[in-house]
Amino acid sequence: MLFWPIVLVVVGGLVWIRFAPSDPDTWHVDPQVTADQDLSNGVRRRIPAGADTLDRLNGIILATPRTDRLAGSVDEGRVTYVTRSKWMGFPDYTTIEREADEQVVELWARARFGKSDMGVNRGRVDNWLSELRAGDEG
């Protein structure tokens, strides 16, 4: 008797995770990165930046599978993206921002659900930054 209610609760939770709305007022915020940090549910990075770094990084991020822009733009100097996991659709949010002097870009990638992202955001951000550096060398 208890089996079906448990199944319904689990399925309902998975549906909520997959289709939960993303409020830009909650996620499109200043990254406030003062130093590189590996967090339990995400990562923060500060990288040296030229005038086109934010634009190039925006292109790299948008080329990532299951990633969409949530809010902001390169012209505004801050963009927030949602990247969903392949199977479960867990949303991760990444905000990038160019400092006013254009010498630094800040990145803050974080999971919405759970206390740990098992390094997924760190891996994704490290791949984006590797691709950005490869473009600098090429």
Considering the domain boundaries, does residue 91 fall inside one?
yes
Considering the domain boundaries, does residue 6 fall inside one?
no
Check if the beta carbon of residue 96 is closer than 8 Å to that of residue 83. Answer: no
Q: How many structural domains is the chain composed of? A: 1
Considering the domain boundaries, does residue 68 fall inside one?
yes
Q: What pTM did the predictor assign? A: 0.89
CATH number of the domain enclosing 78: 3.30.310
**Can you say whether residue 33 is alpha, beta or left, with left for phi > 0 and alpha for psi between -120 and 50 degrees?**
beta
List per-residue pLDDT tens for the chain, 138 residues long.
788 888 899 888 888 878 888 999 999 999 999 999 999 999 999 999 998 999 999 999 999 999 999 999 999 999 999 999 888 889 999 999 998 776 999 999 999 998 999 999 999 999 999 999 997 776
Considering the domain boundaries, does residue 13 fall inside one?
no
Query: Which residue range(s) make up the domain with 84?
Result: 22-137
Query: DSSP assignment of 62-118, as one string?
Result: HTSTTEEEEEEETTTTEEEEEEE-TTT--EEEEEEEE-TTSSEEEEEEEESSSS--T
Considering the domain boundaries, does residue 3 fall inside one?
no
Considering the domain boundaries, does residue 8 fall inside one?
no
Considering the domain boundaries, does residue 127 fall inside one?
yes
Considering the domain boundaries, does residue 116 fall inside one?
yes
